[in-house]
Amino acid sequence: MAANPSDIPVPAEGIEALVQNRKYAAGFVTDVESERIAPGLSEDVVRLISAKKQEPEWLLEFRLKAFRRWLSMREPHWAHVEHPRIDFQAITYWSAPKSMANRPKSLDEVDPKLIETYNKLGIPLKEQEMLAGVQNVAVDVVFDSVSVATTFKQKLADAGVIFCPISEAVREHPELVKKYLGSVVPFGDNYYAALNSAVFSDGSFVFVPKGVRCPMELSTYFRINERNTGQFERTLIICEDDAQVSYLEGCTAPQRDENQLHAAVVELVALDRAEIKYSTVQNWYPGDENGVGGIYNFVTKRGDCRGRASKISWTQVETGSAITWKYPSCILRGDDSVGEFYSVALTHHRQQADTGTKMIHLGRNTKSTIVSKGISAGHGQQAYRGLVRVLEKAEGARNHTQCDSLLIGDQCGAHTFPYTEIRNPTAIIEHEATTSKIADDQLFYCRARGIGEEDAVSMIVNGFCKDVFKELPMEFAVEAQKLLQVSLEGAVG
Amino acid sequence: MTIHASYGEAFERFAAALPATERAARAAAFDTFAQRGLPDDGIERWHYTNLQPFAAQPVHLALATAAPDLSAWRLDGCDEHVWINGRALNDAAAPAPLPSLDAHAGLAGLHRAFATPGLQLTVPRDVRLDRPLHVLSVSDAREAGEMFHLAHRIRLERGAQALLIVQNIGLPGATRFSTQSLSIELAEGAQLTLVRVQDEARGTTHWLQTAADVGRDARLDVVNVDLPCETADPIPGEAAAAKASGTLIRSDWRVKLAAPGAHAELSGLFGADGRVHLDNQYEIDHAAPHGTSRQWFRGLGFGPSQAILNGRVVVQRGAQKTDSEQRIANLMLAKGAEIDAKPELEIYADDVKCAHGASCGQLDDAAVFYLRARGVPEAQARALLIYSFINDVLARVPHVALRLRLARRITARLGAGLDLSEATLSGAAA
Amino acid sequence: MSQLLQIENLHAEVAGKEILKGLDLAVNAGEVHAIMGPNGAGKSTLSKVLAGAEDYVVTAGTIRYQGRDLAALSAEQRAAHGIFMGFQYPVEIPGVSNMMFLKAALNAQRKERGEPELDAGDFLAWVRHRVKQMKMDPAMLSRGVNQGFSGGEKKRNEILQMLVLEPRLMVLDETDSGLDIDALKIVADGINAMRSPERATILVTHYQRLLDHVQPDVVHVLAAGRIVKSGGPELARELEEKGYGWLQQAA
């Protein structure tokens, strides 16, 4: 039932843009000379990475402890995903564009090829370009293992906000990094977090001091370019008392036939009354329609509402990756703290996702909200896995979870595994889940009104995801809608 | 994997009394147990329950005891079948095939190695049993570590109907370990209502597996009433070790809707207190199109205890037009109680209607006040509301006398007198 | 005529906010009082305070009922002593049948008063008769309390409960809202049936329309937490025509 192209209403940016968007647009490879080490993982590799980054002794110790712990751990198998064994010795743990050997002092010194790469991806690195547009976003871009540029650093510094690559933070603000690194996700937390702690390359560091509202959105853009290279970024965001920040994360990778590993760790710390909003649009290469290639996205993201009345909000739109294994979580430690998780995850073709969240209620009157929207098409397998745990002392804890699945086609799967563990008699917990499909009569109704089938699907899907999209910053919401449309191409008919 | 030597000794004694033809299969089952041991909480399906420690404790075959006075449990108008410590009191000891279980291999092996035949029932085509069957499995452990394993088999032929009440009764005494299996097969259009009442004694470790195959347009109704040992006080005749060791009851319910139009309705009432660990695992497997399933569960956290409810619905590829709904509601009544609920969906077909909900909370203050404003004292108001909370499940017990007995027991536990006369309960609308 | 209820200088707050600010009201046995007033004036607060809802805190003043201080009585004791509040939003209690609910309430009240409890048979007759009076389907007795009832059915059920429990002082909070004309008449008939020299009724209402069917002896206007004007039935009609604005200015 292919829709007649002339039936499709022409979007504002023109039919050409629509057609161009029909493939994984981020799938190109940038031809830059890279410095990379040989594949394989050993204590020597860990030392080498640390040496390349000229790290202090305490950080090397952190890495080595993590590495030793990792060696003693077993790969987790409880997730509802299947993949061949990962050969951790076949992966390259360090790769950087040669031009980064001496990190450019300013944006003007960045390799034009890299600038062009990001322009192609729609991420302008020139501050004036950004100013010309309406965007007001500071960007840190991470290319394979290193951060290549951070924009608007001065403007942020004026406000007292530190936004820089984490490797730079290790040099410039060691006391902060030392205090907070590993304090939310300990080095031995889980298999992939331990691996990350041993070999993490770069990532972003954000510190918003007491009472400061970050004057602009912060954004990091991750790109894996090199073949057989893993990306192990590490992000650390700290908001002191009464501080606020909104942080966006985007990711893409070239189209390659082999699977690549991405094992990131993100740690958020919110002190008294602080608010952190963390949004992700994850568009790693998903593999082709037969399941060849694609990123294994095994990520540990966790926020610690350490202070009273603090708030951490996760919003994610997961359209990419061959396999996603990801549970952005909140530890609601401070009394009256609030945790939120809004998620849209889409699996098409042979993609698999096992994603959800953990809300750990420790403090009194803590509240959490979970809204998860899973879309499965083709042979995609999608699982929501969520934990709501209310501990003995969490008087008055509240949670509401809404967990909906949309199925497109009869070969896909949608699964829901919610764990609720309640140990305080004053808790009020509600979990609701539904499953629906795009009904033939809905599609017919749209078509009878002149809307092409794919647009109808996209319309219905966007309606399904509305509760999550409204949590995203404007630019990301638009990007997310487009991504869904592209990702669902060919799902119906 | 440590398995206490007494298991092997018990098996040798048990096998010696078996007909030679059975020994090989039993020995193979025991070997599986010996190799695999008992499940631990590292296995996802045993996430909240660890049986492994029990494999390391001494056991011995439960002794034969005289028939106890069962009048407190007797139900009028039922055909009664009694087993005491796994031995039939009034059923002919007919040889029965070994149960095949889809469960943890080691645990299944243990059950198969030692299983003695329980109810062996076949209801012929288009026959409707006039009287309910009341199966009583009594455990009467005089010495620590007594164990027995009982296997029931029920088959309803095409269009047959029956009501089966399975009650596990533990007489106060020593610590004990028992397993029980119920293999159920419902042919086309057959209808079975199964009520299970769990009344095990303190100090019991018990595993139940019910596996049902529901045929075309057949229907299975299950009401599982899983209530706590009701007192923190010592019970006459109870060993101190039994009181100290707590109680662990794990029940697996596996219902397969094997042919089009099959229907299953599972409901459960569970409440825990006094170091009771209750783990109920329900699974409905929609393996054919047009199957419908409903699940209603109510849990009460009375006191220091852990109750787990895992309700899983699987919709297989091709099981289109499946319609499934599951509701879990839990009421936390005291500190120290933990309730873990996990309603799971695993769906591989798109034209399905599946919904589930789980909630955990307290009594509604507005409702308590409304009752008080009508003159009902607070304690009684709370009891009434708790009663109404569980009544959704209780009302599904088709045997009126049993339903009343269960209701009275719960309200007695709540400590406030409620009028539970039949007239009030039924609303006397007619 | 004996005084049934006497409220003096009543101050009450909810969630720390003062709603009633020095309210005075006296109701004699045999009388029907209507309390009218704009939204937010404190009408529902007064009903809740009389019924004994704990989240409504009396900060000053006294309420005497049958000569005794009401503050000492819990909500259920007040009910047993004959105070009945008709809820503006009757609560749904799924699973508790109306029958069970009524019996629990009636017998608890009788017990508190030292009267023998009714047995099932007598009780059934008692209730059935009143169900008929309210033109309700007897099948509702086996349904959950207010469960799945329409707004009008819920209000009718409040009056049924009132007939069954035979209170002394009836405080009916917006009982007329959500009723169609026929239902309004049935409800009014129920209220009128309860009129007697030893009982009194307080009708809390926003509109005059219920008062066409239940003739009040006294009409009060409640505004900003106090009774600002009292009069005969004609006051209700005046309010209907002019609204409340002129009174609020006067207050």
Q: Which helix (H) or strand (E) covers residue A52, if one does?
A: helix A43-52
Residue C1: what pLDDT? 57
CA distance A371 to chain B (A): 14
Kindly state whether residue A455 falls inside one of the protein's structural domains.
no
Q: Is A36 on the interface with B (CB under 8 A)?
A: no
Q: What percent of chain B has pLDDT over 70?
A: 94
- State pLDDT tens for residues C23-61: 999 999 999 999 998 888 999 999 999 998 888 999 999
Q: Where are the alpha helices (DSSP H) in A200-292?
A: none
Q: Is B35 on the interface with C (CB under 8 A)?
A: no
Q: Which helix (H) or strand (E) covers residue C248, if one does?
A: helix C245-250
Residue A2: what pLDDT? 35
Owner of token pair 């609308």: B429
**CA C94/CA C148 separation, integer angstroms:** 9
Nearest by CB to B344, from A78, A409, A417: name it.
A417
DSSP B94: -
Q: CB neighbours of B4 closer than 8 A, spacing ≥ 6?
A: B55, B56, B57, B58, B59
Nearest by CB to B374, from C79, C99, C141: name it.
C79
Contact between B346 and A405 using a beta-carbon 8 Å cutoff: no
Q: CB neighbours of B102 closer than 8 A, spacing ≥ 6?
A: B108, B211, B254
Kindly state whether residue A462 falls inside one of the protein's structural domains.
no
Sign of CA dihedral C140, C144, C148, C149: positive
- Contacts B374 to C, Cβ<8 Å: 76, 79, 101, 105, 109, 161, 165
B388: closest chain C residue by CA: C95
Residue C50: what pLDDT? 94
Residue B185: what pLDDT? 97
- Could you tell me if B357 and B261 are in contact, meaning their C-beta atoms sit under 8 angstroms apart? no
Q: Is C139 on the interface with B (CB under 8 A)?
A: yes
**CA A303/CA A316 separation, integer angstroms:** 14
What single letter denotes the amino acid at residue B280?
N
- Could you tell me if B151 and B135 are in contact, meaning their C-beta atoms sit under 8 angstroms apart? no
pTM score, whole prediction:
0.81
**CA B51/CA B105 separation, integer angstroms:** 13
User: Which residues of chain C are modeled with pLDDT < 70?
Assistant: 1, 95, 247-251
**Most distant CA atoms of chain C, gap in Å:** 57
Listed residue (B385, B372, B375, B373) closest to B414, CA to CA? B385
Taking 3-state DSSP, the helix, strand and coil percentages for chain A, each rounded to the nearest 5, stand at 25, 35, 40
- Segments forming the whole domain that contains residue A343: 5-442+472-487
Residue C150's Cβ-side half-sphere holds a number of Cα atoms within 13 Å equal to 8
DSSP C90: P
What single letter denotes the amino acid at residue A34?
S
Return the CA Rg of chain A: 22
Number of domains forming the structure of chain A: 1
Residue A114: what pLDDT? 67
Residue A253: what pLDDT? 65
B337-366 residues touching C, CB cutoff 8 A:
364, 366
Tokens for B18?
Answer: 């078996």
Q: What is the DSSP string of A150-201?
A: E-SHHHHHHHT-EEEEHHHHHHH-HHHHHHHTTSSS-TTSSHHHHHHHHH--
For an interface test with B, give the residue of C100, C110, C164 to mutate (most B CBs within 10 A). Answer: C100
**CA A206/CA A150 separation, integer angstroms:** 12
Contact between B427 and C75 using a beta-carbon 8 Å cutoff: no
Q: CB neighbours of B261 closer than 8 A, spacing ≥ 6?
A: B216, B217, B290, B291
- Strand, coil or helix: C247: helix
Q: Is B341 on the interface with A (CB under 8 A)?
A: yes
Residue B261's Cβ-side half-sphere holds a number of Cα atoms within 13 Å equal to 10
Residue C206: what pLDDT? 81
Q: Where are the alpha helices (DSSP H) in A173-307?
A: 174-180, 191-199
For an interface test with A, give the residue of B350, B356, B359, B363 to mutate (most A CBs within 10 A). Answer: B350
Listed residue (A186, A122, A159) closest to A478, CA to CA? A122
- Could you tell me if B181 and B99 are in contact, meaning their C-beta atoms sit under 8 angstroms apart? yes
CA distance B375 to chain C (A): 4
User: Which residues of chain A are modeled with pLDDT < 70?
Assistant: 1-24, 99-110, 114, 117-137, 144-149, 227-228, 253-254, 256, 439-450, 492-493
Q: Characterize A48-78 residue by residue with b for buried, 16 or more Cβ atoms within 10 angstroms of its Cβ, and e for exposed.
A: bbbebbebeeebbebbbbbbebbeeeeeeee
Phi, psi dihedrals of residue A107, rounded to the nearest 5°: -60, -30
Q: What is the ipTM of this complex?
A: 0.82
**CA C24/CA C8 separation, integer angstroms:** 5
Owner of token pair 């909000």: A313
Owner of token pair 């305490």: A58
Q: Characterize A119-131 residue by residue with b for buried, 16 or more Cβ atoms within 10 angstroms of its Cβ, and e for exposed.
A: eebebbbbbeebe
User: Which residues of chain B are modeled with pLDDT < 50?
Assistant: 423, 426-430
Residue B228: what pLDDT? 64
